[in-house]
């Protein structure tokens, strides 16, 4: 089934031991290993799980634990799966036979495959309180190795290594994983079906860069990765009123006509300029509804998102949302205050 299959704490209402067993079972759906924790008797965890076609997204927060995939398990069953993980808090320590132990800290990506035995120890970061164990936070995806355009032999030297998440195509993978985590509870079947192939394309582009083997990517994958890079660039620069299709194309070393063509292929019926405008309006729409920003002038909010002309912003906002920015703010703030009055 596509879409979100788990969010928040899937073990609410269970006793502590049952909570650990339920969490371990959900992890084991795609990561077949022996899982233990010194905190199993007072286990608290969160798990967000979404199925994106053949790709499974996992976002989780949990106390220190160990994951051990033995040679026996590998011989018994090998689904041929890659586990890609981005560490957000805590530390992962990986041990595999005949290799040096490796550690992965926040901001690092790593890939482990199901075809080789390993032990992965997850150590919690800073504790949130005196009574709660320190947590490990991570997001990642699991998917069949066969979906990648490179052979397992080519990829072997990249497995089990740590990669900085904020550079080049690795940054696109990171942004994508964090975006999936934010959306995991609301993805519908159509969005899930689209995001699975995109996830594989982004990972393929990142691994191809690491291998210096860009020729492995198909034209379709190249186009998807380019457009995702364009979208990420736009989101980072929405504050700039000079952000136009021309500046976007120049930043990606392509012509404006080629930018329009590839963007249209990935987002039929929508132009680059239209997508930029819609992203700006969405950010302004969100900020105008934020009680913490009630004292910020509307034109300041608009300018913050690259729309410095009040009249142009007001017209575009009304065309997009069917009301003026002022009316939207008034209604949103009144709705936010209503529960306090009623309570």
In the chain, domain spans: 3-165, 287-342
Nearest to 96 by CA among 30, 165, 159, 32: 159
Task: Quickly name the fold that domain 3-165 has.
Answer: Jelly Rolls (2.60.120)
Give the per-residue pLDDT at 191.
Answer: 84
Q: What is the pLDDT of residues 259-274, one digit of tens each?
A: 999 999 998 889 999 9
Q: What is the pLDDT of residues 176-234, one digit of tens each?
A: 999 999 887 777 888 888 899 999 999 999 999 999 887 788 899 999 999 999 999 99
**Token pair in block for residue 85:** 């993980």
Dump the DSSP string for 72-91: HHHHH----EEEEEEEEESE
**Token pair in block for residue 38:** 């010194």
**Token pair in block for residue 187:** 């993805």
Reported as a pLDDT band with limits 50, 70 and 90, residue 10 is low
**Token pair in block for residue 142:** 């699991």
Q: What is the pLDDT of residues 69-91, one digit of tens each?
A: 999 999 999 999 999 999 999 99
Helix axes 168-183, 219-236, angle to 10 degrees: 80
Nearest to 122 by CA among 138, 98, 141, 99: 138
């Amino acid at each position: 089934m596509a879409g979100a299959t788990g969010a928040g704490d899937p073990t609410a209402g269970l006793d502590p031991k049952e909570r650990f067993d339920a969490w371990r079972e959900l992890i084991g759906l795609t990561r077949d290993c022996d899982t233990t924790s010194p905190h199993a008797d007072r286990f608290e965890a969160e798990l967000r799980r979404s199925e994106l076609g053949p790709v499974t997204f996992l976002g989780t927060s949990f106390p220190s634990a160990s994951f051990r995939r033995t040679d026996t398990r590998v011989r018994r069953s090998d689904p041929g799966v890659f586990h890609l993980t981005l560490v957000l808090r805590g530390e992962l320590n990986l041990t595999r036979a005949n290799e040096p132990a490796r550690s992965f800290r926040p901001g690092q990506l790593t890939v482990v495959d199901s075809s080789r035995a390993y032990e992965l120890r997850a150590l919690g970061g800073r504790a949130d309180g005196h009574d709660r164990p320190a947590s490990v936070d991570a997001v990642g995806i699991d998917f069949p190795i066969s979906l990648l355009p490179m052979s397992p032999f080519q990829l072997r030297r990249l497995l089990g290594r740590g990669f900085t998440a904020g550079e080049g195509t690795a940054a696109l993978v990171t942004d994508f994983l964090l975006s999936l985590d934010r959306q995991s509870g609301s993805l519908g079947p159509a969005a899930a079906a689209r995001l699975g192939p995109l996830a594989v394309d982004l990972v393929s582009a990142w691994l191809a860069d690491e291998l210096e083997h860009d020729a492995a990517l198909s034209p379709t994958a190249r186009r998807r990765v380019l457009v995702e890079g364009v979208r990420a660039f736009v989101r980072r620069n929405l504050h700039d009123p000079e952000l136009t299709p021309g500046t976007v194309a120049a930043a990606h070393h392509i012509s404006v006509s080629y930018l329009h063509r590839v963007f249209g292929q990935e987002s039929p019926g929508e132009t680059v300029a239209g997508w930029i405008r819609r992203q700006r309006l969405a950010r302004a729409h969100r900020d105008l509804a934020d009680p913490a920003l009630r004292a910020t002038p509307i034109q300041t909010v608009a300018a913050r998102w690259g729309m410095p002309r009040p009249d142009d912003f007001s017209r575009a906002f009304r065309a997009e949302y069917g009301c003026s920015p002022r009316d939207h703010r008034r209604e949103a703030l009144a709705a936010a205050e209503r529960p306090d009055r009623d309570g």
